[in-house]
Amino acid sequence: MFPDEADLLNGLCSPLSEPEARMYSPLTLAFLGDAVYSLLVRNMLAKTANKPTGKLHKESIIYVNAAFQARMIKELLPHLSENETYIFKRGRNAHSAHSPKNQSDADYRYATGLETLYGYLYLCGETQRLIDIFNLSTYKNYLENQENK
């Protein structure tokens, strides 16, 4: 992506130790991870095109939805560490009172797992790993979409 992407997230919160971050519920981590992921998507879109906000929003929902996020985590699974896979599975298997409206239940659970991973890595201060994961999946997909236009 861009060399300074980790700076976007660094310093926004004091990093926690892995045991401290693991104490958070998976759905709390997903809540935070959703915001982190959305910020990265918005940052990517804003930096690559100076467009009206309505167009930016329409582009962002391509990437910030359960079906896309489920596809991204499935591509990422072989690249995750054992610990990252464990965190993803905690999120995927968490029981939420929310039921998806326009998404399949399976996609929603996988997307929750991805968001859990983003929240966990953010809390641990692993911003470079967050960026690596984002670049390996979402940004790579964005570039491929731009080439096909």
Instruction: Answer yes or no: 34 catalytic.
Output: yes
The residue annotated as part of the active site, out of 34, 105, 107, 132, is: 34
pTM of the model: 0.89
Structure tokens at 57: 């929003």
Residues 6+ apart with CB under 8 A from 72: 114, 137, 138, 141
Q: Which domains, from first to last, does the chain contain? A: 26-147 (1.10.1520.10)
Whose structure tokens read 């390996």? 136
Q: Over the stretch 17-60, which tens digit does the pLDDT of each residue have?
A: 898 999 999 999 999 999 999 999 999 999 887 889 999 999 99
Both structure tokens of 84:
């990252």
pLDDT at position 1 over 60: no
Q: Does pLDDT of 2 surpass 70? A: no
| Residue owning tokens 């979402």 | 138
Tell which phi-psi region holds residue 51, choosing left (phi > 0), alpha (psi between -120 and 50) or beta: beta
pLDDT at residue 12 greater than cutoff 80: no
Angle CA 13–18–24, to nearest 5: 75
Token pair, residue 136, equals 């390996």
- Cα gap 18→22, rounded to integer Å: 6
H or E element that contains 77: none
Query: Per the structure block, which two tokens stand in for 76?
Result: 């990422």
Q: Cα 98 from chain centroid?
A: 19
